[in-house]
Amino acid sequence: MQTIQTITELNKWVREVKNSGQTIGLVPTMGFLHEGHLSLVEKAKQENDKVVMSIFVNPAQFGPNEDFDRYPRDLERDERLAAAAGTDIIFAPSVEEMYPRDSQISISAGAQAEVLCGAKRPGHFDGVLKVVTKLFHLTQADRAYFGQKDAQQLAIIESLVADYNFPLSIRRGETVREADGLAKSSRNVYLSEKERAEAPHLNKALRLGKQLLLEGKDPLPEMAAYLDENVSGKIDYIELHDYPTLTKNIMDEAILALAVQFEKARLIDNIIINLKGN
């Protein structure tokens, strides 16, 4: 495995792979890898000849008061983990390499970004679409892999690809969890010992909500009461929407999603529920 940091090097690698008739799977990340990222690499290896992982903490998706500067970074550690998982190449550009000039063109995520995390992070998903559009073009990937933990992001990227006929497919990876149910996240390292003990209650609240929803009840009040009783963090939101449209017109699948702000970490989690019982 090799790590490259320039677009010129990436272009050369992509040409060689494509000229040999091989397929490329892309696993976009912001680094500080965990088992969730590595499960996406495993899936990509099964479905493609080559796997490229991007490691780039994307400033375009961080707001002015968010944690861009302190977002955890450890490229050497990531290289070891990515290599052991079977990644062929890491693309780890600098901010200047990815954004050499101020963009004259902007991409809007639209109505899907006006709920859940997007409601309180204006511009966040515009920044996500900016970087994935560049990565899709640069890597010429046949398939790109995203985790379901960031379900709103996943839905918006699927819309981008479908609406603008990107020549690749988006592949979903299931949320990878700790033994106690906490969703794997690079931001979990920010939790205090007490908060880490409380954090599994996010998933327990979601499972409670799923049970209530399938019983025909409104799950949101009881989920809020459960979290108020069991976590010290502040509830940012608990919402129920159709998936993947993220509208209130729920059809075959629903998403129950929540966010809790702890002292130094904002954790999100969700569960997608098939209402047809399949």
Annotated binding residues for (R)-pantoate, written as ranges, equal: 61, 153
89-91 vs 2-4, strand pairing mode: parallel
Task: Cite the beta strand spans of 30-137 per DSSP E.
Answer: 50-55, 89-91
Residues 6+ apart with CB under 8 A from 103: 130
C-beta of residue 92 within 8 angstroms of C-beta of residue 75 = yes
DSSP 8-state secondary structure symbol assigned to residue 48 = -
Helix (H, G, I), strand (E, B) or coil at 13: helix
DSSP string, 179-222: TTSPBP-GGGGG--HHHHHHTTHHHHHHHHHHHHHHTTS--HHH
Please enumerate, by residue number, every residue annotated as part of a binding site for ATP: 30-37, 147-150, 176, 184-187
The C-alpha atoms of residue 140 and residue 11 are separated, in whole angstroms, by 9
**Residues noted as catalytic:** 37
The C-alpha atoms of residue 269 and residue 190 are separated, in whole angstroms, by 16
The residue written with tokens 């990878």 in the block is: 176
Backbone phi and psi for residue 263, each to the nearest 5 degrees, phi listed first: -60, -45
Backbone phi and psi for residue 62, each to the nearest 5 degrees, phi listed first: -105, 135
Q: How many CB atoms lie within 10 A of CB 12?
A: 12
